[in-house]
Structure 1
């Protein structure tokens, strides 16, 4: 993903703005579509805060769709380029067959328990730390885990926006 300045984002057409920010929240272009209405932004922090606010003020159903847009960690499926890169950097694309089976089983248990995939901002984590978090968080209450998953989505968005904007 090519870097872009805040000045370029503020001056871009609505369509270009949305296209540029459409992958900040995984397969959830609607966040960028609502954020475009609040330009110009005085800082990347202000843009990040507005996008977070848009998600936080959305309906529970919209938030659940946002969570469902994320891939299962370690799963060998079609995903966005950003997700592929993030998972590769965490070692999740190089799982042994045993590790893959363990992730697959735990992902299924998590999905069966909460109804959405396990989500964690993997930057700086390795596959062992991610697996440990999965084992721990699958024991959370539904409300606690929904809130935790949304916060992890925000962390991912923050990391992606920092990588994109200067």
Structure 2
């Protein structure tokens, strides 16, 4: 568990400042940060691991419908939002880091086909923490996960969203650390 503090320190922020600083950790879902702040924050939440655990708890306590809304807040991978440059800064950086901005025409067509099949089967976009993966790894995972049951895939998507959130918090910590 990381002991480096986040900046700004979550426990020292008022509601508005906390939501402004951490509201986009869960894609287009500021309610996670809002509920976290409302439950109360202390110095245990000033590290990436501590804040990630508190945010995870709020999502895990949410209803299945609320979790589906959270999943649906995520963009398709290498999809229309990426082409239109309509992603959040975090999503744009994450997708570029996995090389999704460098897809060949054939790979882009494959992503489009898989995105459509996945949405048709599950009713929400394919979500995967892309950091550390390349586009070939992602396409393989896409095809494997199409065989999941809808309930298994909802749980998998939520786990991937938690991973994305934790990685985003850790990235912020590294960006703020003067001694990497």
What range is the shorter-chain TM-score in?
Answer: over 0.9
In 1, distance between residues paired with 2:137 and 2:93? 18
Counterpart selection for 1:112 from 120, 142, 151: 120
Structure 1 window deviating more from structure 2 (33-42 vs 52-61): it is 33-42
2:71 to 60, 67, 71: 67
| Contact residue 76 and residue 126 of structure 2 kept, 8 A | yes
What is the distance in 1 between the residues matched to 2:155 and 2:98? 23
Partner of 2:156: 148
Q: Give the SS at the match of 1:119.
A: coil
Q: Residue 156 of structure 1: SS of its match in structure 2?
A: helix
Inter-partner Cα distance in structure 2 for 1:80 and 1:5: 21
Q: Take 2:101 and 2:7, find their aligned partners in 1: how far apart are those partners?
A: 33
Report the Cα distance in structure 1 between the residues aligned to 2:12 and 2:54, rounded to whole angstroms. 17
Q: TM-score, normalised by structure 2?
A: 0.86
Unaligned runs of 5+ in 1: none
Between 1:31-40 and 1:84-93, the stretch displaced more is 31-40
Flag structure 2 segments of 5+ consecutive residues without an equivalent. Answer: none
1:131 aligned partner: 139
Q: Which residue of 2 aligns with 1:92?
A: 100
**Partner deviation per Cα, 1:75-134 (whole Å, 9 max, x = no partner):** 131111100000000000111111111100011000000000000000000000000000
CA RMSD of aligned residues (A): 1.4
State the partner residue of 2:57. Answer: 53
Q: State the secondary structure of the residue aligned to 2:9.
A: helix
In structure 1, how many angstroms separate the alpha carbons of the residues matched to 2:43 and 2:15?
14
Instruction: State the aligned residue count.
Output: 163
